[in-house]
Amino acid sequence: MNLKKLSEILGLSQTTVSRALNGYPEVNEETRIRVQAAATKHGYRPNSRAKGLATGRSMVIGHVIPFSSQHEMVNPIFGDFVAGAARTYAQNNYDMMFTHAPDTSVEDSYRSLFNRGVVDGVVLQGPKVNEPRISALSQMGVPFIVHGRSTGADVPYDWIDVNNQRSFERATQFLIDLGHRRIALINGLEEMDFAQRRRNGYVSALKHSGIEIAPELLRSAEMTEIYGHQTACDMLDLGDPPTAILASSIISAVGVRRALENRGLKMGRDISVIAHDDELSYMRNGIDVPIFTATRSSVRHAGELAAEMLIGRINAPNDPPKTRLLEAELVVGSSTGPAPQRM
């Protein structure tokens, strides 16, 4: 069933039928009702390719999920972020296109999606420091939004981010206030912008209290459970092990917990742990009482907001750049406590 057939059935022109269905004012209300009835009756759905050709808009948003060529890691926050975004898209009649590309060719993926007219805009996730994709997209003239920010990107751009620096500064301060001095940071990949900011927050809090940075307590890698476990084991084996650990994700915090438990250490008593909690739906940080003391910020909500901002940008390409900085909550659970007294 297409426009032509439908209009023949109705004895109307394609023009009128199209207008009736798209809510144009110049069509008689009676006709409109008749057309709509026929459309539903015959299950007519405008072909979106044809529509796109005619309007020059695809009503599709592109997401390119990079994976590091070595690890083939899928970012665990991806599912929830996308779920949030998808919700907004659905409300605005956008579809969502999705590509998975090795990080070496992400830029090409964007270019391809946009130049082929597949998408009207794209979401850039997981920006690195000096992210080259940002200026590339900017030059191409693709409407885009960055989930996160990129230190060193020299063009203005839309972004939505969590205040990573402040939240890790607060978390670190919280541990310092509890008497901790040996505080470890199990961070995400060094080149990621968020990891850098978190480290800055951590460093700044320590400095502020006159605590020296201990390089052996600073690690960064992809935030898997295994990594959390391994790193915690390594650090506990140090002559002067940490009394508190900051973990950049709840997933690696789970690994940390496993390491502690293997050694019979109790979280909150023997050692304190704070995790960053993206509120992943399958790994909630407790229901009533948080499992981990955590810096909390819903990545699903970020997805919703990112989608809104991007749609806004598509509709108003010349507006000045918009940015949005979300503050993470610091929620206190039972994984933190006063620093144990050294004998």
φ, ψ at 252 (rounded to 5°): -70, -25
How many residues are recorded in the chain? Answer: 343
Residue type, 305: L
Residue 8 corresponds to which tokens in the numbers above? 């023949």
Q: Work out what residue 69 binds among DNA, a second copy, none; the CB cut-off runs from 5 to 8 Å by kind.
A: none
Is 15 one of the binding residues for DNA (CB under 7 A)? Answer: yes
Pairing mode of beta strands 244-247, 293-296? unpaired
Is 76 one of the binding residues for a second copy (CB under 8 A)? Answer: yes
Instruction: Tell me which DSSP letter residue 121 carries.
Output: E
CB of 31 to DNA, least distance (A): 4
Residue-by-residue DSSP string for 28-91: -HHHHHHHHHHHHHTT----HHHHHHHHT---EEEEEEEE-TTT-PPPTTHHHHHHHHHHHHHH
Exactly one of 46, 179, 241, 312 binds DNA (CB under 7 A); which one?
46
- Closest among 106, 109, 102 to 73, alpha carbons compared: 102
**Whole-angstrom Cα distance, residue 60 to residue 58?**
5
**Whole-angstrom Cα distance, residue 155 to residue 172?**
32
Q: Which range in 42-50, 74-82, 105-113, 288-296 contacts DNA by CB under 7 A?
A: 42-50
Over the window 54 to 93, marking each residue x when it contacts DNA by CB under 7 A and - when it does not, the resulting string is xxx-------------------------------------
Q: Work out what residue 99 binds among a second copy, DNA, none; the CB cut-off runs from 5 to 8 Å by kind.
A: a second copy
Q: Name the residue nearer to DNA (CB basis): 34 or 100.
A: 34
How many Cβ atoms from other residues are within 10 Å of residue 68's Cβ? 14
Q: Which spans of this chain sit near DNA (rule: CB under 7 A)?
A: 2-4, 11-16, 18-19, 21-22, 26-29, 31, 44-47, 50-51, 53-56
Instruction: List residues near a second copy by CB under 8 A.
Output: 43, 45-50, 52-53, 58, 60, 63, 65, 67, 71-76, 78-80, 82-83, 86-87, 90, 95-101, 112-113, 115-118, 222-226, 251, 254, 257-258, 261, 280-284, 286-287, 291, 300
